[in-house]
């Protein structure tokens, strides 16, 4: 069995409409399903969200990532899913999280502003490593805060 670890990074556009509490409900639902399914599938990662877009990192065995991502791609809560990277990696960056969540506080809004700035109009032109480092950096900061 191939035990190589893979990391997939994608960006997508949010299609959830409504007020903050409706958004929060949907995010809670996504995180609940993610944590339940990912822990069974040995998938770890992080999800970042603002009203405009999602960025997600998934890491784990190749077939498990593929299965998980196929479900995610069919989800009507987002569109324009754009894969930035799907590569073998030596270790997990989010080993402690079946799905860490980076929400929309002021700091994250600034990070997303950086994302949009870095990529210009076509935000999908961003590099997978950049998105990975942003999410990792954010969680490291949150842990030491
Ligand atoms: C942005 C986004 C990220 C998601 N991430 C995951 C994930 O990491 N793992 C997962 O199982 N489902 C994830 N989902 C939810 C799936 O699309 C799907 O609703 C869910 O896997 C169905 O699980 P269930 O059959 O156990 O109800 C995500 C959905 C969205 C919109």
> Which residue, among 2, 1, 3, has the nearest Cα to 92 in the 3D structure?
3
Give residue 119's pLDDT: 45
Pocket-forming residues, ligand 1, beta carbon under 6 Å: 30, 33-34, 37-38, 47, 54, 56, 58, 68, 71-72, 75, 77-78, 99
- HSE (side-chain half, CA atoms, 13 Å) at 64: 22
Smallest CA-to-CA distance from 62 within 89, 40, 36, 37 is with 89
Question: Residues 26-36: what's their mean pLDDT?
Answer: 96
Pick the more confident residue, 72 or 107. Answer: 72
> Could you tell me the fold of the domain covering 5-144?
Alpha-Beta Plaits (3.30.70)
Highest mean pLDDT: which range of 49-53, 93-97, 107-111, 129-133: 93-97
Residue 47's H or E segment, with its range, is: strand 44-49
Distance (angstroms) between ligand 1 centre and the Cα of 37 equals 8
Among 6, 7, 30, name the best residue to mutate to test ligand 1's pocket (greatest count of ligand atoms within 8 A of Cβ).
30
On the question of pLDDT at 143 being above 90, the answer is no
> Which has more pLDDT, 47 or 124?
47
For residue range 44-97, list pLDDT tens digits in order: 999 988 768 899 999 999 999 999 999 999 999 999 999 999 999 999 999 999
Q: Check if the beta carbon of residue 24 is closer than 8 Å to that of residue 103.
A: no
Confidence of residue 135 (pLDDT cuts 50, 70, 90): confident
Distance (Å) from CA 6 to ligand 1 centroid: 18
Q: Relative to the CA of 12, which ligand 1 atom is closest?
A: 1
| pLDDT score at 28 | 94
Highest mean pLDDT out of 23-32, 103-112, 123-132:
23-32
For a ligand 1 pocket test, name from 27, 34, 43, 49 the mutation site with the most ligand atoms within 8 angstroms of its C-beta.
Answer: 34
- Given a cut of 50, is residue 121 above it in pLDDT? no
Domain boundaries, the chain: 5-144
Task: Quote the mean pLDDT of the chain.
Answer: 85
For the stretch 38-53, what's the b/e string if a residue is b when 16 or more beta carbons lie within 10 angstroms of its beta carbon? Answer: beebebbbbbbbbeeb
| Triad 104, 30, 72: Cα angle to 5° | 110
Ligand 1 centroid to residue 67 C-alpha, Å:
11
């Amino acid at each position: 069995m191939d035990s190589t670890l893979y990391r997939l990074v994608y960006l997508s556009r949010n299609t959830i409409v409504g007020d903050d509490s409706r958004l929060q409900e949907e995010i809670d639902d996504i995180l609940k399903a993610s944590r339940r399914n990912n822990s069974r599938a040995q998938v770890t990662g992080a999800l970042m969200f603002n009203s405009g877009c999602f960025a997600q990192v998934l890491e784990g065995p190749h077939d498990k990532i593929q299965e998980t991502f196929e479900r995610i791609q069919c989800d009507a809560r987002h569109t324009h899913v754009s894969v930035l990277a799907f590569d073998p990696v030596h270790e997990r960056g989010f080993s402690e999280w079946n799905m860490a969540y980076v929400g929309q506080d002021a700091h994250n809004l600034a990070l997303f502003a950086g994302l949009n700035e870095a990529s210009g109009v076509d935000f999908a032109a961003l590099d997978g490593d950049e998105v990975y480092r942003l999410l990792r950096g954010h969680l490291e900061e949150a842990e030491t805060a």
